[in-house]
């Protein structure tokens, strides 16, 4: 993927028919620069949704959380570079107002084919297939792992908490695979509604995570909590994450916002929330039977530092699971 994207960027940049003037104007006519930027910023959380695969699969890691954090940062920086490279390659392929006026199904493919013919499409296909493959691999691991943890914590039916002979959550994997196979049958437009809806879900998750971190960290001069949890910089950074998440939610949900969800996206979001409420109410009696300490272990596995006298058997990632 990296090699293909690099070739595309260098080739388009050096091509004699791709002057920098193709990047002008900087913003669409009749649209304020702020509104144009906010329309892209609002969907940015969805573009970076894959990086939560790392903490969701953390129980499987045999290295420190510090290294995992470094992997997340490196992955985000790499992805940002790839996004910028492909945007630039698309924009210099031809004057972008002309491309928008032609309303191509896929502007990047049209531009690269015009410049390089079949070779350009092959490079693009390699980049796309590799990019999709990395996403699918990561999402299969994290989605099945998340379903497994929720089933183990009795938030979902125990069906999802079963592991197969290889120590993997087989039922959760097949469930995720089934959804992936069915979803494309609804067509491109329906998938776009799901993407918009997912932007809201991702933003809520990121905001909630930052809020939890803000509550866990203490100011450096505080005498509250464990000394290892006192850091003004990290508490301030967590608070900034909360404010950023609220801003993203406002862009997606507030009436009049340039990135407000469309009506079909609102319907998809409503159905998704309703399904979540139903699952929550159905599983609530079972969840209430688990105390807080065991719940932390069931959700987080070995990372919860849980110790119990209950007999246990091996689970996913080498963690223990109650009989």
Specify the pLDDT at position 323: 35
Residue pair 296/304 in contact by the 8 Å Cβ criterion: yes
Specify the pLDDT at position 321: 44
Q: What secondary structure letter does DSSP report for 165?
A: T
pLDDT along the chain (323 residues), means of 10: 93 87 84 84 71 72 77 85 90 84 86 91 93 83 85 84 87 89 82 81 88 90 78 91 90 82 89 89 82 75 46 43 39
3-state SS, residue 267:
helix
Specify the pLDDT at position 320: 43
DSSP codes of every residue in 202-242: HHHHHHHHHHHHHHH-B-TT--SS-GGGB-HHHHHHHHHHH
Query: Is the whole-model pTM more than 0.85?
Result: no
Count of CB atoms situated within 10 Å of the CB of 123: 20
Place of tokens 């790392």: 54
Specify the pLDDT at position 301: 61
Specify the pLDDT at position 302: 56
Closest among 250, 267, 306, 303 to 59, alpha carbons compared: 303
Contacts of 22 (CB under 8 A, 6+ apart): 91, 92, 93, 94, 95, 96
């Amino acid at each position: 993927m990296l090699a293909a994207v690099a070739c595309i960027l260098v080739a388009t940049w050096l091509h004699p028919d791709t002057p920098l003037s193709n990047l002008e104007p900087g913003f669409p006519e009749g649209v304020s620069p702020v509104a144009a930027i906010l329309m892209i910023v609002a969907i940015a959380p969805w573009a970076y949704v894959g990086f939560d695969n790392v903490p969701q699969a953390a129980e499987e890691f045999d290295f420190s959380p510090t290294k995992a954090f470094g992997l997340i940062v490196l992955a985000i920086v790499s992805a940002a570079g790839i996004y910028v490279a492909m945007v630039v390659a698309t924009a210099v392929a031809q004057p972008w107002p002309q491309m928008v006026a032609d309303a191509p199904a896929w502007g990047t493919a049209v531009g690269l084919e015009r410049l390089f013919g079949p070779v350009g499409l092959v490079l693009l296909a390699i980049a796309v297939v590799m990019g999709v493959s990395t996403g699918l691999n990561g999402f299969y691991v994290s989605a099945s792992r998340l379903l497994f943890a929720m089933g183990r914590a009795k938030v979902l039916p125990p069906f999802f908490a079963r592991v197969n002979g290889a120590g993997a959550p087989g039922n959760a994997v097949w469930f995720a695979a089934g959804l992936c196979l069915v979803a494309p049958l609804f067509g491109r437009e329906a998938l776009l509604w799901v993407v918009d809806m997912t932007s809201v879900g991702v933003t809520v998750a990121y905001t909630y995570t930052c809020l939890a971190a803000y509550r866990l960290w203490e100011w450096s001069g505080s005498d509250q909590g464990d000394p290892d949890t006192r850091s003004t910089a990290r508490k301030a950074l967590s608070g900034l994450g909360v404010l950023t998440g609220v801003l993203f939610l406002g862009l997606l949900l507030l009436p009049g916002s340039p990135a407000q969800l469309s009506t079909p996206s609102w319907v998809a979001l409503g159905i998704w929330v309703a399904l979540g409420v139903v699952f929550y109410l159905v599983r609530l009696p079972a969840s209430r039977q688990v105390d807080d300490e065991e719940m932390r272990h069931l959700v987080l596995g070995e990372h919860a530092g849980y110790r119990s006298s209950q007999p246990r058997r091996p689970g996913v990632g080498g963690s223990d699971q109650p009989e």
